[in-house]
Structure 1
Amino acid sequence: MQNIVDFVLEIDKLKQVTRKTRVLNSDRYENSAEHSWQIALLAASLQAYAVEPVDIDRVVAMLLVHDIGEIETGDTIVYAEGGWEERKAQELACVTRLFGMLPEQGPRFLALWKEFEAGETADARFANAADRAMPVLLNLANNGQSWRENGIRHQQVLDRIGPPIRSGCPALWAYLEGRLLDARSRGWLA
């Protein structure tokens, strides 16, 4: 029991990792724990639209653990270019340490984290689609707040989020594609 309590208290630090997107109707930026919760619910809600059958319990668990490495690395905006290999190596070291606190569930959580990063299974592709979509949905609802503040270009968004969303949930990509063109025409994307 103590290992579980120690682990859960340690991952509380994820609530302190600030992201670049604001929560709706607020000047406050979301944190990575909120992001993980929201995309888990997004994926559960979108299950019927997965391009392949998925085990939604695995997908939700994957999404709940996928950003835990940010406890030590912080969050990097998805549109950043370069440095991803070093960042992912640091995140792997962090999650290996943290999941190592759980002798029984730790190996499962680490395997889910690695599966998400590899993005090769139907579950991982669907989870990645939800992860990539949520910042877009928030930006569309917030008049492009994060895009405008960070000088994000329309093509950056298409290149970075298009392939994983199209691969894991084509219906979601079909929904977003036209809205991204509208966002560009409104000046929300450079």
Structure 2
Amino acid sequence: MANCCTFQMRVRGEKDNCESFINALKQKGIYWIGRGASVSEELLDSNDNQYLYSLIGECKWSLFSALYDNAVSMQIAPERWDINDRLKNKEIIPITYKEACDMFNVEIEAWSDECGMEFAEYLRYEKNKIDKLECYDYEEEENEEGEYVIVEEPDGFYEFELCEVEHAIQPERNNNLILRGRSR
């Protein structure tokens, strides 16, 4: 059985682009981000044209493995996948998370951890600006209920830089306007 990776991800961009990225992550439609993931999303912030979504999800193995390595494998060796016929017929087009960000013009940031493996990943990607992948070890213990509990975590664990969208600065109202030659 594959290891299970849980993660939180932030996706920022125009609404339709964010939704296209999320659908590719869920493997809905023609574009699939690698093995994909089971996710639920919540809108955190928005303005006229920028949206910030928070995703919580799970995928097989690690986030990088599922959303990058597996996409590359699907691209270069489709015969190794049980969806081989669909790949050959271009019913499914596998893309990496980086290709998806570039295609849909979104930026992402994610933290993931593998329960029982004491392994965490941090990734951040924005086309032509940021390409970051960091791996961390952490310490966990099994409690009386058989659940793994993190007892020592990496610095900044599950802290996000993508916290909001830019909002237009509203001009201050000037109550001393001059109307038709008279002051107010």
**TM-score, normalization: structure 2?**
0.34
Larger Rg: 2
**TM-score, normalization: structure 1?**
0.33
Tell me which protein shows more strand as a share of its residues. 2
* Structure with more relative contact order (C-alpha pairs < 8 Å, separation 6 or more): 1
Tell me which protein shows more helix as a share of its residues. 1
